[in-house]
């Protein structure tokens, strides 16, 4: 195993959140998927024993929460084994799923394995748009899975990614969640990475859509109180300060891609020159504390102006490195979402372009069709 030491590693605290992306296989084809566009050309998935070893190492480092994600993690038939292993080590275990593949038998087995939490994604409150955006017929199945989750005593945690086409349906999405007995609803506006970046022009909402949706969410919050907690995550293109991406690079988040590549953030593969380590070659402790990739943007020594002398750098850590690179070509630049960035104009242009009339629920894909996440498209575009 190789180790690269760096003086920056002295300041690192242990990872808290381990995200295992077990597979890039997924029956859905969401146009906003955050997976890398070139996923189909990545290496083979880790086997069960290697995943077990990675989970053990991460727990040894101090990680307390584990997410099983993908792709669709339920396509792995060792999911129950891995959940049981993680739970046995004391992890709080989360399944992040589209629901496809979750039946009575599997949910009982996952419960038996000690799974703590299930987050189910929906694409819309209407069958038409749910099925269109995911390019599948999964609307009815998701309703069945939601009932199954409730019947097995799990808290009902729903997630719906918002964009230009479903923002006008926010009230109906909340009504649907309430009817399902949701305890928690995450309304997360699209973040523009991976496939969502490819489809940015079609998915970007207008500021009016966002304001109306947020006002609606606030009205519902007053009405339903603690019965259902509703989270509304605004797309950062509409902000003047960036998000504190990953709470700081190499700070709490440790992601492992299906092929064993260790990731300081979901989109880190898009950054050039990082030489991302793999768990097959390097011990997790060395990856976390000593690898070049995990130290590249840790702390604030890497910052340039305007971040370097900015008194807000402790709050947002300069924003997202992947977004900075995607939009400026420089991974050490300030995230252009920031109004202090010399590139902020680019963000404003995208938002201005989005001001064309939005048609309620209608997917105007004539001028520029959505590109769906599929193996064929990945091989063609990757």
Residue with tokens 């419960």: 111
What does the alpha-carbon distance between residue 274 and residue 148 come to, in Å, rounded to a whole number? 43
Shortest spacing between CB 167 and ligand SF4, in angstroms: 18
Site string for ligand SF4, 73-102 (x = CB under 6 A): -------------------------x----
What does the alpha-carbon distance between residue 74 and residue 62 come to, in Å, rounded to a whole number? 26
Determine which residue in the list 115, 307, 322, 331 makes contact with ligand SF4, applying CB under 6 A. 307
* Using rule CB under 6 A, residue 327 touches ligand SF4: no
The CA-based dihedral angle spanning residues 50, 56, 58, 64, taken in that order and rounded to the nearest 10 degrees: 130
* Using rule CB under 6 A, residue 287 touches ligand SF4: no
Q: Tokens representing 198?
A: 């490819």
Determine which residue in the list 53, 131, 312, 364 makes contact with ligand SF4, applying CB under 6 A. 312
The answer to whether 120 and 183 are in contact (CB under 8 A) is no
When the beta carbons of 121 and 209 are compared against ligand SF4, the nearer one is 121
What does the alpha-carbon distance between residue 33 and residue 123 come to, in Å, rounded to a whole number? 11
When the beta carbons of 134 and 251 are compared against ligand SF4, the nearer one is 134
Radius of gyration in angstroms for the set of CA atoms belonging to the chain, rounded to a whole number: 21
Which listed range, 84-92, 230-238, 268-276, 312-320, lies at the site for ligand SF4 (CB under 6 A)? 312-320
160 is in an annotated binding site: no
Shortest spacing between CB 190 and ligand SF4, in angstroms: 10
DSSP state of 261: B
State yes or no: cis peptide before 306, omega within 30 of 0: yes
Determine which residue in the list 338, 347, 354, 370 makes contact with ligand SF4, applying CB under 6 A. 338
Determine which residue in the list 87, 152, 340, 375 makes contact with ligand SF4, applying CB under 6 A. 340
The answer to whether 307 and 300 are in contact (CB under 8 A) is yes
Q: How far is CA 353 from the centre of its chain?
A: 25
* Using rule CB under 6 A, residue 313 touches ligand SF4: yes
The answer to whether 152 and 107 are in contact (CB under 8 A) is yes
The answer to whether 68 and 48 are in contact (CB under 8 A) is no
Any residues with CB less than 8 A from the CB of 44 and at least 6 apart, and which?
A: 259
* Using rule CB under 6 A, residue 45 touches ligand SF4: no
The answer to whether 37 and 379 are in contact (CB under 8 A) is no
When the beta carbons of 285 and 332 are compared against ligand SF4, the nearer one is 332
Using DSSP bridges, classify how beta strands 117-122 and 92-97 pair: parallel, antiparallel or unpaired: parallel
Residues numbered 133-152 forming contacts with ligand SF4, rule: CB under 6 A: 134
Site string for ligand SF4, 57-76 (x = CB under 6 A): -------------xxx----
Which listed range, 46-54, 141-149, 230-238, 316-324, lies at the site for ligand SF4 (CB under 6 A)? 316-324
245 is in an annotated binding site: no
Helix (H) or strand (E) holding 48: helix 48-61
Shortest spacing between CB 154 and ligand SF4, in angstroms: 19
* Using rule CB under 6 A, residue 28 touches ligand SF4: yes
Binding footprint of ligand SF4 on the chain (CB under 6 A): 26, 28-30, 33, 35, 70-72, 98, 121, 134, 241-242, 306-307, 310, 312-313, 316, 318-319, 334-335, 338, 340, 373
Annotated binding-site residue numbers for [4Fe-4S] cluster? 26, 30, 33
């Amino acid at each position: 195993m190789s180790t690269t030491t760096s003086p920056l590693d002295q300041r690192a605290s242990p990872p808290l959140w381990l995200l295992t992306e077990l597979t890039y296989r997924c029956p859905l084809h969401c146009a906003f998927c955050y997976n890398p566009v070139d996923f189909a050309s990545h290496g083979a998935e880790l086997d069960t024993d290697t995943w077990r070893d990675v989970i053990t190492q991460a727990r040894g480092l101090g990680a307390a929460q584990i997410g099983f994600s993908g792709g669709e993690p339920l396509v792995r038939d060792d999911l129950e084994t891995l959940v049981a292993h993680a739970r046995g080590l004391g992890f709080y275990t989360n399944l992040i799923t589209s629901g496809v593949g979750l039946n009575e038998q599997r949910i009982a087995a996952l419960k038996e394995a000690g799974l703590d939490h299930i987050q189910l994604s929906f694409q819309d409150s209407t069958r038409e748009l749910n099925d269109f955006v995911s390019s599948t017929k999964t609307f009815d199945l998701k309703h069945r899975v939601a009932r199954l989750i409730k019947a097995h005593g799990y808290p009902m945690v729903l997630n719906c990614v918002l964009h230009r086409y479903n923002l006008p349906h926010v009230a109906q999405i909340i009504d649907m969640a309430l009817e399902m007995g949701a305890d928690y609803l995450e309304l997360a506006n699209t973040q523009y990475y991976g496939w969502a970046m490819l489809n940015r022009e079609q998915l970007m909402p207008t500021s009016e859509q966002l304001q109306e949706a947020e006002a609606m969410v606030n009205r519902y919050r007053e009405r339903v109180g603690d019965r259902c907690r509703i989270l509304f995550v605004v797309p950062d293109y509409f902000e003047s300060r960036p998000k504190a991406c990953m709470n700081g690079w190499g700070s709490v988040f440790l992601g492992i891609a299906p092929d064993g590549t260790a990731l300081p953030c979901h989109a880190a593969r898009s950054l050039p020159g990082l030489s991302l380590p793999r768990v097959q070659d390097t011990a997790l402790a060395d990856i976390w504390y000593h690898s070049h990739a995990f130290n590249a943007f840790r702390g604030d020594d890497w910052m340039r102006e305007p971040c370097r002398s900015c008194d807000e750098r402790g709050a947002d850590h300069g924003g997202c490195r992947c977004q900075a690179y995607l939009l400026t070509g420089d991974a050490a630049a300030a995230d252009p979402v920031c109004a202090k960035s010399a590139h902020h104009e680019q963000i404003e242009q995208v938002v201005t372009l989005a001001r064309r009339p939005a048609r309620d629920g209608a997917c105007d894909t004539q001028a520029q069709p959505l590109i769906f996440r599929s193996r064929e498209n990945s091989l063609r575009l990757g």
